[in-house]
Structure 1
Amino acid sequence: MKSYIKLAFAFAFCVLNAQCQSTNDTAKKSGVNKEKSKPNFIVIYTDDHGYSDLSIQGIKNDVKTPNIDNLARNGVRMESGYSTAPQCVPSRGGILTGRFQSRFGLELNGDSLEGFDAETTIADRLKSAGYATGMAGKWHLGPGNQITKHGFDHVFYKNSAQPGVANFNFEGKSIPLAAGTTKMYHLDACSKAATTFIEMHKDKPFFFYLAYRAPHVPLDATQKYLDRFPGKMPERRRQALAMLSAVDDGVGEIMKTLDENNLTDNTVIFIIGDNGAPLKITKEDKPGGGPGWDGSLNDPLNGEKGTLIEGGIRTPFVVYWKDKLVKGTYKHPVSSMDFAATAVELAGLSTDDKLDGVNLIPFLNGEKLGAPHDKLCWRWGGQSAIRKGEWKFLKGDDREYLFNLDEDIEEKNDLLAKHPEIVKELKKELLAWSNGLTPTGFSKGEMSKNANAYFDYYLDGKLNKKIKVGKK
């Protein structure tokens, strides 16, 4: 009898232990599945990339971007996608924090980075949600060896033929952060870093920020890409097209890697330009690839980098999430700051009122109708602007303009005198918004000599005067 009781007890213990183990395994699997259900995020950020220069835009026939076109065709192409500034440093501060950069004092190239250094980046936020975080390419927000302090665990900082700084290699191994990456062409190297990172972290949610230095000067396309664009054209245009072709190849490699690892369905991709192309008014085809026009174009937009005219801030902008968005062109204005707000919500993080962006997914999948933003505002040095619906009010020092962008995308017909009531309201809203900036007000100092020259040429019709602009 005692033997029977011992046997029964042992059997019951085994059953109970098996049930507990099964429960633990189920809990573990549930946790893994919960983590895997979080979408991955990739931001591809191009540099001085004009509005014209995706072939899917249907504006120029010489540009070739089949891989980006495919994402746009099967995702959403933004007709009015905006950067937060017409210049590299502040626009990067905006997209990486999800906040308008003048809120923390980063309005112009050369401004102190102390405010940015104190901000919580989207990499910080996603890292707290269990994401692997990484970046490749251009940083421009401080020393390369400080990037890991801003939420990026994996760094491949390289934007030229110079060595760069990295803490992982193409074999997928983490290494001590140090100078010396690869002699590979920097655009190809950044693409390789992206696919390597994906392979390294395919079993957990990840965020990768891929900031190609293209087609920003110095123009340095390799012969492989230049050969794709034969025929007569400005050499700077050929260089820009070639560099963008290298970027597009990289996008193709990224999609191939996602497909091979069954990650495409659960990866959200944003492709955005940091600001418009620098035309230097005349688009002079200077020999060499140094300062000057970078070969990119902003057509049909007026203006260029260094202005809050549309050509300075409206950029190529594509969002892709396989089979989860209503395919097509989206008309309402959106901002690069919307990426951070989108990622925060999709990652299951608490919403933060400090973020200036909006989760775009409900607007792009048809759940929400109407515009994501009541208005978008900018301030950059002596310039400020507000877009609300079809109306845009632009101010540069004492010069003021009003445009109906639905009817006049080229900003050629100033309606300031015809609609004083609209001007008054927009100006009031712009000033109220500016009270949240550092410093407050319509401007931070006066417009530069170059900015004045751009306003003379693009807005005031001083076409017969020989206008010169500096290198910056």
Structure 2
Amino acid sequence: MKKGLLIWFLFCCFSCGKKEVEKPNIVVILVDDLGWADVGANFPETFYETPNLDRMAANGLRFSQAYSAHPVCSPTRAALMTGIHPNRLNITDWIPGFSRNKEDWPLSTPSISHQLELEETTLAEKFKESGYHTFFAGKWHLGEEDTYWPEHQGFDQNIGGWSVGAPQLRKGEANGYYAPYGNPRLEDGPEGEYLTERLTDESIQFLRQKGTDPFFLYLSFYTVHTPIQPAPKKYDYFLRKKEKLTAPSGLQAYRQEGAGQTKLIQDNAAYASMVASMDENVGRVLQALEEEGLDKNTWVVLTSDNGGLSTLFNEGAPTANGPLRAGKGWCYEGGIRVPLIVQGPGLSDKGRVSETPVVSMDLFPTLLSLAQIPHQANDGKDLSGLIRNDDTIERESLVWHYPHYHGSAWKPGSALREGQWKLIHFYETGISELYNLEKDPGEMENLAKVYPDKTEVLQQSLMRKLRESNARFPEPRP
């Protein structure tokens, strides 16, 4: 055999024997307004029951100090989709936002973008470019016009994603979590159908019919956002459970938080049934992956877009965030610390708990790295090494910026976490608060006057970080 022919023969044999590496599938489950303490794996004292999420944590990796990019939904959703801080996207409030400028407010708040611009590169676009089938089901809330909805942001299919951030209640047209939904991207099911189950049905149908291509499935539940409408299967169960509930001695039901009230006890049976329904349907997705033989090559990530809704101007909040202070809408821990559980192939060990502070933007580079898809550096940190090998990540600080008023009684402010230290600055008063999260995760002891030098250093660091991220600030009214 001639030398050239021999080389060609050996090359062909090597190429034929070389098996192409199978691309992993990616499933992201985003639960709206799910609080850190709503999940049993985080807070065993919870009134709610989340056996499937707890099992997922036991089989995967749970982050005990995971944060949303923002205390409300749209900014976090945009950050997760792009890996970019909400400040750079100019989405620093939910779209279209709380009333911009009431005359009795001392500050005029900045305007925001009402959509995730098409020029931004999304996770779905990156996966689609790499041969993935991309599927979206649920809440989008990143554009008022349909030209900014999921099907224009990299998703092959969009089931239920449109402009609004919650199930609609319109007499004769929409019945919230029960069909009819009044949703232009979701055909109504039979009367009484529950939205959480319907979105899961659609996702499982996609899994069963997806074909041979790898897939990116983004199941973005509307639950457990208001309106609080009980899930039929477990409501009576939690009503009975509530009757047997005894509050800890001396614990008040509510605590004053600025001009608002923070709920301190988990006892809402309707909300508990919604959490249970969400958990059950997460279990259905995981079971479908197993039945289809996909679980061994699929990464599943579950998280929330902000903390639980525990603080309002009145006493109407549905949940409590355990030892954490305040809730959705606030830059205290209750408003930004969220569940984050990762399950998939290649974990260093199952049931591990990471205390590394991480944030929504990290999911963009992490998921792409797990799928071996090249990407440019952005505001997120790649956690794939931490997930696979328990590596450390280098990060100086985390920054939150909410320069608007909110229905939770929050007033414009920003926050910074650096190591164990957390600083919160309010723009109306110019006052900064300082907390040591290692010793005081409930942020009850303001140490600003005890450590004035530390407060000043962190204050300067916060303002520098905000300017670097193109933050826009509230201004005094004339």
TM-score range, shorter chain: 0.7 to 0.9
- The separation in 2 between residues aligned to 1:349 and 1:62, in whole angstroms, is 41
Q: 1:344 to 1:317 in 2, by over 3 A?
A: same
Mapped contact 2:47–2:266 kept (Cα < 8 A): no
| Pick aligned residue for 1:148 from 151, 155, 179 | 151
Identity rate of aligned residues, in percent?
29
What SS class does the counterpart of residue 227 from structure 1 fall into?
A: helix
- The separation in 1 between residues aligned to 2:420 and 2:16, in whole angstroms, is 53
Q: Does 1:252 align with 2:271?
A: no
The 5-angstrom pairing of residues 219-368 of structure 1 reads: 219-231=228-240, 232=242, 237-281=268-312, 284=315, 292-293=316-317, 295-322=318-345, 324-326=347-349, 327-353=351-377, 355-368=378-391
Aligned-pair Cα RMSD in Å:
2.9
Which residue of the partner structure matches residue 137 of structure 1? 138
Which residue of the partner structure matches residue 261 of structure 2? none
Which residue of the partner structure matches residue 391 of structure 1? 421
- The separation in 2 between residues aligned to 1:130 and 1:332, in whole angstroms, is 32
Q: 1:202 to 1:81 in 2, by over 3 A?
A: farther
Q: Does 1:104 align with 2:105?
A: no
What SS class does the counterpart of residue 349 from structure 1 fall into?
A: coil
Q: Which amino acid aligns with 1:390?
A: Q
Which residue of the partner structure matches residue 396 of structure 2? 374
Structure 2 runs not aligned, ≥5 long: 97-111, 162-166, 168-176, 244-264, 404-411
- The separation in 2 between residues aligned to 1:329 and 1:107, in whole angstroms, is 30
- The separation in 1 between residues aligned to 2:375 and 2:194, in whole angstroms, is 40
Q: 1:117 to 1:246 in 2, by over 3 A?
A: same
- The separation in 1 between residues aligned to 2:270 and 2:216, in whole angstroms, is 30
Which structure has more helix as a fraction of its residues? Answer: 1
- The separation in 1 between residues aligned to 2:49 and 2:476, in whole angstroms, is 40
| Pick aligned residue for 1:26 from 1, 7, 16 | 16
- The separation in 1 between residues aligned to 2:291 and 2:221, in whole angstroms, is 23
- Which one is further off, 89-98 or 421-430? 421-430
Q: Does 1:201 align with 2:210?
A: yes
Q: Does 1:127 align with 2:117?
A: no
- The separation in 2 between residues aligned to 1:264 and 1:446, in whole angstroms, is 54
Q: 1:85 to 1:64 in 2, by over 3 A?
A: same
State the 1:134 CA deviation. 1.0
Structure 1 runs not aligned, ≥5 long: 1-14, 167-178, 285-291, 448-472
Residue by residue over 1:148-174, the C-alpha shift from the partner in whole angstroms, topping out at 9 and shown as x without a partner, is 1111111111654314344xxxxxxxx
Q: 1:61 to 1:349 in 2, by over 3 A?
A: closer
State the 1:310 CA deviation. 0.8
What SS class does the counterpart of residue 214 from structure 1 fall into?
A: coil
State the 1:429 CA deviation. 2.1
Q: Which amino acid aligns with 1:112?
A: S
- The separation in 1 between residues aligned to 2:273 and 2:85, in whole angstroms, is 32
Which residue of the partner structure matches residue 404 of structure 1? 436
State the 1:325 CA deviation. 3.4
| Pick aligned residue for 2:67 from 82, 99, 105 | 82
State the 1:204 CA deviation. 2.0
State the 1:236 CA deviation. 7.3
State the 1:97 CA deviation. 1.2
Q: Which has the higher contact order (CA 8 A, sep 6+)?
A: 2
Q: 1:250 to 1:283 in 2, by over 3 A?
A: farther
Mapped contact 1:97–1:340 kept (Cα < 8 A): yes
- The separation in 1 between residues aligned to 2:303 and 2:125, in whole angstroms, is 21
State the 1:228 CA deviation. 3.3
| Pick aligned residue for 1:42 from 27, 30, 39 | 27
Mapped contact 2:266–2:320 kept (Cα < 8 A): no
Q: 1:144 to 1:255 in 2, by over 3 A?
A: farther
Residue by residue over 1:381-413, the C-alpha shift from the partner in whole angstroms, topping out at 9 and shown as x without a partner, is 121111111111111111201111010000011
Q: What's the TM-score, normalizing by structure 2?
A: 0.77
State the 1:93 CA deviation. 1.1
> In the comparison of the two structures, how many residue pairs are matched?
403
Q: Does 1:180 align with 2:187?
A: yes
Which residue of the partner structure matches residue 189 of structure 1? 198
Mapped contact 1:45–1:274 kept (Cα < 8 A): yes
Mapped contact 1:360–1:372 kept (Cα < 8 A): no
- The separation in 2 between residues aligned to 1:405 and 1:377, in whole angstroms, is 15
State the 1:230 CA deviation. 3.4
Mapped contact 1:278–1:305 kept (Cα < 8 A): yes
- Which one is further off, 111-120 or 343-352? 111-120
Q: What's the TM-score, normalizing by structure 1?
A: 0.78
State the 1:296 CA deviation. 2.3
State the 1:282 CA deviation. 7.8
Which residue of the partner structure matches residue 449 of structure 2? 417
- Which one is further off, 265-274 or 105-114? 105-114
State the 1:426 CA deviation. 1.8
Residue by residue over 1:301-321, the C-alpha shift from the partner in whole angstroms, topping out at 9 and shown as x without a partner, is 001111111111111111112
- The separation in 1 between residues aligned to 2:475 and 2:211, in whole angstroms, is 48
What SS class does the counterpart of residue 399 from structure 2 fall into?
A: strand
Q: 1:235 to 1:57 in 2, by over 3 A?
A: closer
- The separation in 2 between residues aligned to 1:264 and 1:165, in whole angstroms, is 32
- Which one is further off, 425-434 or 128-137? 425-434
Q: 1:431 to 1:155 in 2, by over 3 A?
A: same
Q: Does 1:164 align with 2:183?
A: yes
Q: 1:192 to 1:372 in 2, by over 3 A?
A: farther
Mapped contact 2:72–2:306 kept (Cα < 8 A): yes
